[in-house]
Structure formats: structure tokens, C-alpha cells
């Protein structure tokens, strides 16, 4: 059975890829100011679902509706193939698989293999971590939580940030574990060397993500301890 497409998670995953690419761009760092990059991030976050997928896979701000449907169909098909199987498969083979399943040529999705893999990992990451956020609202007594929800953002509370960061860290570790687990399957693919190479790139990226989250967790735990000490007086 094909997985149900979570469009909100897919949109978020695609935006994360765009923002990550911009953040890591040497050209942008050298040729733009900080305030310009902040404005760009706000612009990306305001994109519609179709605009986001169009920019990522079609390089078009006004995407073709049929091509967006092709992307959604291809996502479902590639999810069924398994992670290593399409990382170690040539784009031409993926196009043929897509065409056999849908009757249409899957040009746009299949030709972005590593981008597709990154997007699916972000998609899974969001699905793993998001359910925790509602739970994290309850880490403080109701009277403190309600006061902050009325006047401030819960993100101003260190203990809330400790909870959500732990959740995000667990999700990232889960993703990293999946990437490492897929390496053993590369030998059964059409292009095992490519499969390993692509997984190594993704492993580096998610190892950095885990490190960043661990650093953030240390920071928030320190802030939470200081706030608890302040509450005693």
C-alpha cells in the first residue's frame, strides 16, 4: 500500500532543503548581508506548497500543476522502493520505473536523486519530532504555561526548549541510525559505489545536525537550571 502523502511535512522538508542550501552557499556568504539572508529565509517560509516544490524540483516559481502531481506520485513510488535501492539506482532507471507505474516520464524527481533522498529524510524527521511538541507544552505547571501562552511564546521558556530539543535530537539520531543501516543494502543495488557515496554525504550532514542539537541542548539545560535557581528566591 502506498503511503499517504503528508503535504505539510513535504512542504516543510522542501523548504528546509532550500534554506540549508542557502545557508551553506559560499557565494551567498560572500555576496550578501546578514539582513538579506534573513529576508530570504522569511520569503522561503512564506512560499506556497506548489511554489516550494516547483523551485526545488523544477527551478520554476510558477510550477506546472501536472509536474507537481508527478513529484507527489514519484515520492510515493520511491518510498516503496526503499532508501538504498534508489540511491544506488541511475536516474534513467528511476524514470522507467515511474513511467511503468504512472504512464508518465518522471523526469524532474528522478534526476535529483540526492536532493530527493535529503527531502525524504527531512520529511521523516518532521514526522518523528512533531508529535513531541504538544507534549512539551506540559513540562511546566499550568499557571506558568498559561501565563506565557497569553503574553509570550513558549519558546522563551528554557524548560520547554530542553524538552523540544531532546525530541528533535532523538528524531535526528533515529534518522542517522537509518542512514547507517541502509549502507549494508547498497551491495544489492545497480550502483553500489554511488549508493555508498550518497549515503556518506547524508551521514555527514545528519552527524552535524546531531552535534548542533547536542550543543543546543547543553545551552538550554544550563538556562533551565539558572531559571529554576531564580524561582527559589
Grid coordinates representing 17 are: 532543503
Separation of alpha carbons 59 and 8, rounded Å: 20
Grid coordinates representing 61 are: 516559481
Per-residue pLDDT of the chain (233 residues; tens, 9 = 90+): 445 678 888 899 889 988 888 888 888 888 888 888 889 999 999 999 988 888 877 667 777 777 787 777 777 777 666 778 778 876 667 677 667 766 666 555 555 677 778 888 898 899 888 888 778 877 767 766 666 666 566 677 788 889 999 999 999 999 999 999 989 889 988 889 989 999 999 999 999 999 999 999 999 999 888 877 776 54
Q: pLDDT at position 70, please?
A: 75
Q: State the pTM of this model.
A: 0.78
Separation of alpha carbons 208 and 214, rounded Å: 10
Q: What are the sequence ranges of the domains in the chain? A: 7-110, 125-231
- Using a CB cutoff of 8 Å and minimum separation of 24, what contacts does 52-58 make? 52/11, 52/14, 52/15, 52/18, 53/10, 53/11, 53/14, 55/18, 56/14, 56/17, 56/18, 56/112, 56/115, 56/119, 57/108, 57/109, 57/112, 57/115, 58/108
Torsion over CA: 49, 53, 58, 60 (sign): positive
Separation of alpha carbons 221 and 233, rounded Å: 20
Grid coordinates representing 205 are: 550532514
CA-nearest of 195, 196, 198, 134 to 167 is 134
Amino acid at each position: 500500500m502506498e503511503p499517504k502523502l503528508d503535504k505539510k511535512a513535504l512542504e516543510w522538508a522542501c523548504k528546509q532543503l532550500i534554506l540549508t542550501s542557502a545557508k551553506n552557499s559560499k557565494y551567498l556568504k560572500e555576496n550578501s548581508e546578514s539582513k538579506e539572508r534573513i529576508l530570504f529565509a522569511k520569503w522561503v517560509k512564506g512560499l506556497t506548497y506548489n511554489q516550494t516544490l516547483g523551485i526545488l524540483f523544477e527551478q520554476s516559481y510558477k510550477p506546472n500543476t501536472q509536474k507537481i502531481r508527478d513529484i507527489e506520485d514519484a515520492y510515493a513510488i520511491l518510498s516503496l522502493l526503499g532508501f538504498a535501492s534508489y540511491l544506488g539506482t541511475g536516474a534513467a532507471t528511476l524514470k522507467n520505473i515511474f513511467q511503468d507505474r504512472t504512464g508518465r516520464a518522471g523526469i524532474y524527481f528522478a534526476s535529483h536523486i540526492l536532493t530527493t533522498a535529503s527531502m525524504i529524510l527531512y520529511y521523516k524527521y518532521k514526522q518523528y519530532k512533531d508529535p513531541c511538541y504538544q507534549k512539551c507544552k506540559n513540562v511546566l505547571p499550568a499557571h506558568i504555561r498559561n501565563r506565557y501562552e497569553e503574553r509570550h511564546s513558549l519558546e522563551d521558556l528554557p524548560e520547554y526548549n530542553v524538552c523540544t530539543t531532546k525530541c528533535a535530537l532523538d528524531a535526528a539520531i533515529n534518522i542517522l541510525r537509518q542512514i547507517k543501516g541502509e549502507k549494508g543494502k547498497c551491495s544489492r543495488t545497480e550502483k553500489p559505489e554511488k549508493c555508498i557515496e550518497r549515503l556518506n554525504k547524508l551521514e555527514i550532514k545528519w552527524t552535524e545536525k546531531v552535534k548542533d542539537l547536542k550543543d543546543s541542548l547543553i545551552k538550554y539545560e544550563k538556562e533551565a537550571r539558572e531559571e529554576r535557581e531564580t524561582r527559589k528566591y
